[in-house]
Structure 1
Amino acid sequence: MSVRILALVGSLRAGSHNRQLAEAAAKLAPEGAEVVIYEGLADVPFYNEDTDIEGQVPAAAAELRAAAQAADAFLVFSPEYNGTMPAVLKNAIDWLSRPYGAGAFGGKPVAVIGTAFGQYGGVWAQDDTRKAVGIAGGKVIEDIKLSIPGSVTRFAETHPSDDAEVAGQLTEVVTRLHGTVGDVVAA
């Protein structure tokens, strides 16, 4: 069975280290798993229930929901902005939580990882992201975690896929997430 893992990256910056982690995860995905990086988060308008009307949902939000519906699992990459997740990531979670009770996360497995400049690698943001995704309907896999500290120096001249330690950790994350898909469906 081929498993489609949708990667949501919480940084829009061109040189984002979290984006580089997502690229590395896509490159290192095991056979039978495909990691697809969602490209349109910058275009999704802020969630507003007044615009979330069936048949009238903004195109960018509808595209995000369609991509999420087509996914078997999610791999969320969160940097840490002022001690929490970035607004673009929270906004995506808000859109994917609706319609209430039938959101696109739909009990699918979700792993949250990331990197940040600080000494803890963004754990606060990642914990907040796990909480929001779980409330939004995702099946957060709590024991899949990866927080890489010191991103600015660690990845200054090295792409995460070329860092042997990080590549090994990412491969394990994607392999473990891939392995949970059947377990969550059967539960």
Structure 2
Amino acid sequence: MTRNVRILGICGSLRAGSYNHGLLSALAEEAPAGVTVDLLGDWSGAPNLNVDLLDAGRPPAVVQEIAERVRAADGLVIASPEYCNSIPGALKNLLDWLSFPPPRSCLRFKPVGLVGASIGTGGTARGQTALRNSLLFFDTMLMGRPEVLVASSAVKFDEQGNLKDEEVRALLRRFLADFTEFTSSTLDRGLDPRDREFLFS
């Protein structure tokens, strides 16, 4: 690998002890040399989307800070639970905020990979489908495979939220290797959105 790759992980759940946060933490632990996986952390301060909160087309400061971190990353990995055949409303709200200013948002041409953990047997398959539909509208560069759909999460994480299932860890290593290659090839094709004028200038 000829370049270092910086990946930002966003957890779609705001719940303390979220399995999806644990999934991202495990992804960071499995990162090889030359790959950095940082976690966004608490983003619960993002307000409900209201265009009246825009200031000359600029979102609130808390959203701008998140957008700048997304834009600075080479690739984005979103780990989300599945709520009612879709994704949590708070995550959709955050993505809607990050779509500003259209069409030159921090999401445009951003390489994105999806992972998910659920206590049910579906492993977030329907939630990831809904998320893909939104991300395609935002002109992200979505990696299709491998799919990381972790079912029955209650037995795959310990009481501290650490991933203990070695098969899932092996899948995460494969996902990370493919996503690193996917991200690097996207940048090599000259689709790096960071080459544009600064997002909120």
Common topology (TM > 0.5): yes
Inter-partner Cα distance in structure 1 for 2:84 and 2:57 = 36
Q: Pick from 162, 182, 187 the counterpart of residue 159 of structure 1.
A: 162
Q: SS at 2:102's partner residue?
A: coil
Q: Which amino acid aligns with 1:153?
A: V
**Residues 78 and 129 of structure 1 are in contact (CA less than 8 Å); yes or no, is this contact kept in structure 2?**
no
How much has 1:167 moved relative to structure 2?
Answer: 0.9
Partner of 2:102: 100
Give the CA deviation at 1:54: 3.9
CA contact (8 A) 1:74 1:108 kept: yes
User: Deviation string for 1:101-147 (max 9, x for gaps)?
Assistant: 10101212101111111111111111111111121121111123110
Q: Do the aligned partners of 1:96 and 1:136 also contact (CA within 8 Å) in 2?
A: no
Instruction: Report the Cα distance in structure 2 between the residues aligned to 1:52 and 1:133, rounded to whole angstroms.
Output: 22
Question: Take 2:5 and 2:43, find their aligned partners in 1: how far apart are those partners?
Answer: 22
CA shift in 2, pair 1:144/1:95, >3 Å = farther
Q: Cα distance, 1:75 vs. partner? A: 0.4
Q: Note the C-alpha offset of 1:51.
A: 1.6
Please, which runs of 5 or more residues in structure 2 have no aligned partner?
A: 192-201
In structure 2, distance between residues paired with 1:41 and 1:129: 18
- Asked if structure 2 preserves the Cα contact closer than 8 Å seen for 1:115 and 1:151, the reply is yes
Q: CA deviation at 1:156?
A: 4.7
2:137 corresponds to which residue? Answer: 135
- TM-score by structure 2 length? 0.86
1:34 aligns with 2:30: no
Q: 1:156 to 1:105 in 2, by over 3 A?
A: same
SS of aligned partner of 1:43:
coil
Tell me the C-alpha RMSD between the 2 structures. Answer: 1.7
Query: Are 2:90 and 1:85 aligned?
Result: no
For the Cα contact (< 8 Å) 1:97–1:105, is it kept in 2?
Answer: yes
Rg larger for? 2
